[in-house]
Amino acid sequence: MEIVNVSDYEVVAKQKLPKMVFDYYASGAEDQWTLHENRKAFERIRFRPRILIDVTKVDLSTTVLGFKISMPIMIAPTAMQKMAHPEGEFATARASSAAGTIMTLSSWATSSVEEVASTGPGIRFFQLYVYKNRHVVEQLVRRAERAGFKAIALTVDTPRLGRREADIKNRFSLPPYLTLKNFEGLDLGKMEKTADSGLASYVAGQIDRSLSWKDVKWLQTITNLPILVKGVMTAEDTRLAVQAGVQGIIVSNHGARQLDYVPATISSLEEVVKAAQGRVPVFLDGGVRRGTDVFKALALGASGIFIGRPVVFSLAAEGEAGVRNVLQMLRDEFELTMALAGCCSVKEINRNYIQTEADMIRSISRL
């Protein structure tokens, strides 16, 4: 099959991967309403392009937490990438570095922070789950720091694992030849086969349900790395995040894998951006499959976006070359969108270039 866009990789991945693995990557929580809405909400946003603008040179580069990157398209943390391809996180790290962008490594990676660092230079963030055993958390953060990771993305939407029915039906568990590498030495690297989802049982046993804002403060005492909170969906929590002194916010519904019937992230973005009042950068993940999606997110105030599933699907299909291609296709589409909309640099993208459903309703009611 000829691959011409990011979504084509999902089709190939479905053919190549064992059902349990594909379903783990692809599925959402419960009715999967939010899973579909993450995509559909992008489709409801229209462009207001400007014409007769010299777009000979279009500059996609931007800065994230002071790091210059080639484009505002980064890699979200996705767990257990060696289920997709033997090279797993190594391949993703190399592809990300070659594209000049940021990779976020999952706590539940099948490669350790040290192993990923050994692939060579690159700007990398570390996604953190807070375990009941805080000593484990502290060790992990220290290791990420030592391995040269530049920020912590603290996942805040997972006191318990969402109900992912495909995983229950498939009795999902990490294949026995793999481990959660960051926890191998701590006897937390294996996942038992259970009567339902092995991951849900693992989370119930290990992840701290009592996690609260005071723990964000605690995290700031054990690391000087910037902390991004990943999983913010409301203005209220945005204000609390800013008060807590975090360095950034990732608007995320965990790929629609946690609470079903939350809005799409692109629908929640503007609320969060307005509440942040420019005091911290706001990023988005969830549902990005096109360069047009990237532009829409930036027009609504995001400083950049993260992609998750496209990475594991392309990894399954073609390994490192697949991930490189996904990043290149999104880059090319985003550059084309900018040119056709009449923008020569990322900082020129603003709210005037798009029209949301709310805008359309407002303009009709004015009539």
What's the confidence (pLDDT) of residue 193?
74
**pLDDT above 90: percentage of residues in the chain:** 91
Q: Tell me the three state secondary structure of residue 253.
A: coil
Around Cβ 61, how many Cβ atoms within 10 Å? 12
In this predicted structure, the answer to whether residue 191 has a pLDDT above a threshold of 90 is no
pLDDT digits (tens, 9 = 90+) for 216-249: 999 999 999 999 999 999 999 999 999 999 999 9
Q: What pTM did the predictor assign?
A: 0.97
Is-catalytic flag, 254?
A: yes
What's the confidence (pLDDT) of residue 221?
97
In this predicted structure, the answer to whether residue 261 has a pLDDT above a threshold of 80 is yes
Work out the pLDDT band at 200, boundaries 50, 70, 90. confident
> Are the CB atoms for 301 and 351 separated by under 8 Å?
yes
Work out the pLDDT band at 339, boundaries 50, 70, 90. very high
> Tokens for 76?
């979200």
Ramachandran bin of 29, using left for φ above 0, alpha for ψ from -120 to 50, beta for the remaining angles:
beta
What's the confidence (pLDDT) of residue 196?
79
Q: Of the given ranges (98-107, 171-180, 283-292), which has the lowest mean pLDDT?
A: 171-180
What's the confidence (pLDDT) of residue 187?
66
Picking from 266, 284, 255, 283, the residue whose alpha carbon sits closest to that of residue 354 is: 266
Q: How far is CA 95 from CA 15, 120, 169, 233, 323, in A?
A: 23, 11, 33, 30, 6
pLDDT digits (tens, 9 = 90+) for 8-18: 999 999 999 99
Catalytic residue among 36, 85, 135, 254: 254
Binding residues for glyoxylate: 24, 129, 164, 254, 257
pLDDT digits (tens, 9 = 90+) for 83-105: 999 999 999 999 999 999 999 99
In this predicted structure, the answer to whether residue 251 has a pLDDT above a threshold of 80 is yes
**pLDDT above 70: percentage of residues in the chain:** 99
- Please report the beta strands in the chain, taking only residues with DSSP state E, as ranges in sequence order: 46-47, 62-64, 67-69, 73-75, 102-105, 123-128, 151-155, 227-232, 248-251, 282-285, 304-307, 354-355
Cβ contacts of 142 within 8 Å, gap of 6 or more: 222, 223
What's the confidence (pLDDT) of residue 366?
82
Binding residues for FMN: 77-79, 106, 127, 155, 230, 252, 285-289, 308-309
> Are the CB atoms for 238 and 272 separated by under 8 Å?
yes
Work out the pLDDT band at 210, boundaries 50, 70, 90. very high
Domains by residue range for the chain, with CATH: 6-365 (3.20.20.70)
Phi (first) and psi of residue 235, to 5 degrees:
-65, -40
> Tokens for 117?
């660092």
| Mean pLDDT computed over 180-191 | 81
Phi (first) and psi of residue 270, to 5 degrees:
-65, -40
In this predicted structure, the answer to whether residue 1 has a pLDDT above a threshold of 90 is no
| Mean pLDDT computed over 302-325 | 98
Binding residues: 24, 77-79, 106, 127, 129, 155, 164, 230, 252, 254, 257, 285-289, 308-309
What's the confidence (pLDDT) of residue 185?
79
**What is the Cα–Cα distance from 181 to 166, expressed in whole angstroms?**
25
**What is the Cα–Cα distance from 64 to 279, expressed in whole angstroms?**
14
> Are the CB atoms for 39 and 286 separated by under 8 Å?
no
